Amino acid sequence: MRVYADNAATTYLSKTARDKLIECLDNFNGNPNSLHTDGQRTQEVLDEARAIVAGCINAKNPNEIYFTSGGSEADNQALISAARGLRNKGKKHLVTLNIEHHAILHTMAKLEKEGFEVTYLKPQPNGIVDIEDVKNAIREDTALVSIMFANNEMGAIQPIPEIGAICKEKHVLFHTDAVQAAAHLPIDVQAMNIDMLSMSGHKFHGPKGVGILYARNGIRLTNVIEGGAQERGKRAGTVNVPGIASMAVALKEGCDNMEQNMSKVRALRDRLIEGLKDIPYSQLNGDPVKRLPGNVNWSFEGVEGESLLLHLDLYGIECSSGSACTSESLDPSHVLTGMGIPVEAAHGSLRFSLDYENTEEQIDYIIEKVHSVVELYRSMSPYWEDLQNGIREHCIPEHM
C-alpha cells in the first residue's frame, strides 16, 4: 500500500487546478502587460484570478491581492515592507513567534542586522501563544506583529481574531503566515483584522512556485524584486498567469468544499491519534483540539525520527520528521524545542499531514506500521536500553 501523508510539505495538483493550468498554457500565452488583444485576453484571466482569491479571504478589493513566487516571498515582502516602511516613523520593533516558518524567522534575523529589534514570543506547551504575551510585547515603537495562522509542523492554530483585535486597538500592523491555513480553515481578513496575509498555491492542491500576498489598501509595500511595473509596481517580473489561474481555482475549490473536507480529515486525524496513543513513552505534540484538521505530530522516546521515516517509506508510507525545509539537517525541530519539548523527544518525532484523499484503511495501515517500526528501532537502540535500565530518565510519561 502507498500512503501519502506529507501534505504539509506539499499537496498534489487537483484535477481542477491541473485542467486550468493546461487550459491557460494552451490558450493564454500573452503577456498581460501587452496592450494588444492577446495581452488583454490574458489580463482578463489574471483579473479573474485576483477576484477569486479576494473572494476566498473576504478582501475588500481585488487590488489588495499581489501574486508572488510562493509563500516564502510573500512572507519576506510583508515583513520587509512593514519594517522599512515604518522605520522613518521611529518604529523599529517587531514581534513574532519562535516557532514560525524560516521564511519569517530568517527575514526577522535579516531585519535585526538592519537595526530592528525583534521579540520572539514562546508559545505555551500546547504550541499556542498566550494573547496576554502578545499584548505585553507591543511597545510604542512596534511596527508589526507577525504570527502564523497555524503551525506547519505540529498544527497548532493561533488565536488570530484576538491578535488582530489587539493589533487594531494598539495601531500596530498585523501579518499572518496563513500558508498552512488557506483552504483548510476559514479566513476572513476583514473580520479578523488582518493587514497582511501570505498563502502558497502548492499547499492547497495548486501548483508550486506561485503564492499570494494580501495587503490591505493603505499599506505601502516595498519591492523585494525590482524591475517592471507588474503587480501595481510592487512585484516585478512577467506574471505567471497559468500558475496563478490554476492556484486561484484550487483555492476556490478548497474553500467551497472546506466544511466537508475538514470533517472528513479531522475524523482521519483523530483515528490516527487514537491508534498511536497506546505506544508507551510517546506523545502527541501540539494542542489536541485547536490544530489543523490533518496534522498529527508525534514524539517517540528512544528513537530517531529520521530512521522511523525512512523505514516507513519502505512500507510505502510517506511522512516527515520535522518540516521538509529542515529535514536535511539533523538538528531537532526548532518548533518542537521552541514550545518546550525536550530535545530527546523532539529527535524522535514524526509528522503525518493528512488530506481528504486519505482513507480509514490507510490510517489503520499507518497505525500498524508505526507500532512495529517503533518497536524495532527501540529494540536496537542503546539509548532506549539506558532508559529501560534506569541509567537515563524518561522525558515523556509512560501513558498519555
Residues tagged active-site: 325
Distance in Å from the first CA to the final CA of the chain: 29
Interface pick for ligand PLP out of 200, 240, 349, 362 (rule CB under 6 A)? 200
Interface pick for ligand PLP out of 70, 123, 286, 338 (rule CB under 6 A)? 70
Task: Rule CB under 6 A: say whether 72 interacts with ligand PLP.
Answer: yes
Nearest distance from residue 371's CB to ligand PLP, in Å?
29
Residue nearest ligand PLP, CB atom distance: 71
Task: Rule CB under 6 A: say whether 230 interacts with ligand PLP.
Answer: no
Nearest distance from residue 213's CB to ligand PLP, in Å?
11
What sign for the dihedral angle of Cα 15, 19, 20, 24? positive
CA gap 172, 115 in Å, rounded: 19
Percent composition of the chain: helix, strand, coil (DSSP 3-state, to 5): 45, 15, 40
3-class secondary structure, 353: strand
Nearest distance from residue 199's CB to ligand PLP, in Å?
8
- C-beta closer to ligand PLP: residue 211 or 302: 211
Query: At residue 63, what are phi and psi to the nearest 5 degrees?
Result: -75, 0
- Which helix (DSSP H) or strand (DSSP E) does residue 300 occupy? strand 295-300
- C-beta closer to ligand PLP: residue 103 or 387: 103
Q: How many CB atoms lie within 10 A of CB 340?
A: 12
Q: Which of 342, 350, 322 is nearest to 397 (CA)?
A: 342
- C-beta closer to ligand PLP: residue 7 or 230: 7
- C-beta closer to ligand PLP: residue 78 or 367: 78
Task: Rule CB under 6 A: say whether 155 interacts with ligand PLP.
Answer: no
- C-beta closer to ligand PLP: residue 10 or 33: 10
CA gap 225, 66 in Å, rounded: 13
HSE at residue 219, side-chain half, CA atoms within 13 A, is 31
Please, what is the Cα angle at 24 between 19 and 27, to 5 degrees? 120
Could you say which residues in the range 82-101 bind ligand PLP, by CB under 6 A? 101
The DSSP annotation for 99-118 comes to: TS-HHHHHHHHHHHHTT-EE
Interface pick for ligand PLP out of 32, 164, 211, 243 (rule CB under 6 A)? 211
* Cell (9 digits) for 192: 479578523
- C-beta closer to ligand PLP: residue 211 or 293: 211
Task: Rule CB under 6 A: say whether 81 interacts with ligand PLP.
Answer: no
Q: Which of 397, 11, 380 is nearest to 202 (CA)?
A: 11
3-class secondary structure, 369: helix
* Cell (9 digits) for 47: 483579473
Query: At residue 278, what are phi and psi to the nearest 5 degrees?
Result: -85, 5
Nearest distance from residue 217's CB to ligand PLP, in Å?
24
- C-beta closer to ligand PLP: residue 203 or 252: 203
- C-beta closer to ligand PLP: residue 329 or 389: 329
Task: Rule CB under 6 A: say whether 179 interacts with ligand PLP.
Answer: yes
Task: Rule CB under 6 A: say whether 71 interacts with ligand PLP.
Answer: yes
Task: Rule CB under 6 A: say whether 203 interacts with ligand PLP.
Answer: yes
What sign for the dihedral angle of Cα 367, 369, 371, 377? negative
Nearest distance from residue 107's CB to ligand PLP, in Å?
11
Task: Rule CB under 6 A: say whether 43 interacts with ligand PLP.
Answer: no
Nearest distance from residue 279's CB to ligand PLP, in Å?
27
Task: Rule CB under 6 A: say whether 369 interacts with ligand PLP.
Answer: no
Residue 339 CA: distances (Å) to CA of 100, 206, 334: 11, 31, 8
Q: Which of 353, 389, 50, 337 is nearest to 179 (CA)?
A: 353
Task: Rule CB under 6 A: say whether 302 interacts with ligand PLP.
Answer: no
Interface pick for ligand PLP out of 53, 59, 94, 103 (rule CB under 6 A)? 103
Interface pick for ligand PLP out of 6, 64, 177, 287 (rule CB under 6 A)? 177
Interface pick for ligand PLP out of 152, 295, 297, 358 (rule CB under 6 A)? 152
- Binding residues for ligand PLP, per CB under 6 A? 70-72, 75, 101, 103, 148, 152, 177, 179-180, 200, 203, 211
